């Protein structure tokens, strides 16, 4: 089944109001790539100005809390980011799983919160270098899928991003064959969990995606797009990745 490509950026803890000028070029490129969906997740402080600046571009949050409201100082709910203009959120990124000790259950709750608020979610999974070297990459990733996948998971609001932890921001990437193998295992696990909907679910690759390697990675079996970190901060680096997705 042909699935529409999704090229998503994740600015992480970077950016400013002035940096939003980069979105102009990204939005223009997205408009000239009709076969590709383009999205950018920005820090919470930038969601509203970003959505106002480029209303045609999908702007998202980098994380949400699982509760709609309450005594959670410093946290932001899915309803809040939706009100600010976000149309999706990232959940379960490896940096949050590691730095904030988020569990699969936490990630599942956050994905469910996104659905509750009427926005999409990109759910991240991935193994560490030690887990890969031990031969456990597939079991770790499919275990995260089983533990993190929310009830009612469907392709119209949820995508899965495979990001090997050891490749994020390091310049190292798995081979195309390695990526295809893990994506195939994810697809097979989804088929067990959600049946025929698995065929429609978009699986993104993330982990040091650059203009130089994007075309090769996006051409791998079962790779339906990319979740891009540092290269999404500027139009100069992100636009070629969009173009690779459209090729």
Catalytic residues: 93, 163
> Which residue reads 């698995």 in tokens?
198
DSSP code of 215? H
Nearest partner of 179 among 153, 157, 208, 158, judged by Cα: 208
- Tokens at 101, concatenated: 């000790």
Nearest partner of 42 among 57, 23, 61, judged by Cα: 61
- Tokens at 215, concatenated: 């075309």
Measured CA to CA, the distance from residue 14 to residue 231 in angstroms comes to 12
For the chain, the C-alpha Rg in angstroms (whole number) is: 17
For residue 109, give every residue at least 6 positions away whose Cβ sits within 8 Å of its Cβ, in sequence order, or none.
66, 150
Query: Residues 191, 142: contact at Cβ < 8 Å?
Result: no
Measured CA to CA, the distance from residue 218 to residue 170 in angstroms comes to 19
Which helix H or strand E contains 69, and what residues bound it?
none
């Amino acid at each position: 089944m042909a699935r529409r490509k999704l090229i998503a950026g994740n600015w992480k803890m970077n950016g400013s109001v002035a940096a939003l000028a980069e979105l102009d070029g990204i939005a223009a490129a997205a408009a000239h790539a009709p076969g590709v969906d383009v999205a950018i997740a920005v820090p919470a402080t930038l969601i509203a100005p970003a959505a106002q600046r480029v209303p045609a571009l999908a702007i998202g949050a980098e994380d949400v809390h699982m509760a709609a409201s309450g005594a959670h100082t410093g946290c932001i709910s899915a309803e809040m980011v939706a009100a600010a203009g976000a149309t999706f959120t990232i959940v379960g990124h490896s940096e949050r799983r590691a730095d904030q000790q988020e569990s699969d259950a936490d990630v599942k709750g956050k994905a469910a919160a996104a659905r509750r608020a009427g926005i999409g979610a990109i759910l991240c999974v991935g193994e560490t270098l030690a887990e890969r070297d031990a031969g456990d990459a597939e079991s770790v990733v499919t275990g995260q899928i089983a533990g993190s996948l929310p009830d009612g998971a469907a392709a119209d609001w949820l995508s899965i991003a495979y990001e090997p932890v050891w490749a994020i921001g390091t310049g190292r990437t798995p081979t195309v064959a390695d990526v295809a193998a893990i994506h195939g295992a994810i697809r097979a696990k989804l088929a067990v969990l959600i049946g025929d909907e698995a065929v429609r679910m978009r699986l993104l690759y993330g982990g040091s995606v650059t203009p130089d390697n994007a075309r090769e990675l996006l051409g791998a079996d079962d790779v339906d797009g990319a979740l891009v970190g540092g290269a999404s901060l500027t139009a100069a680096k992100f636009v070629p990745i969009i173009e690779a997705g459209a090729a």
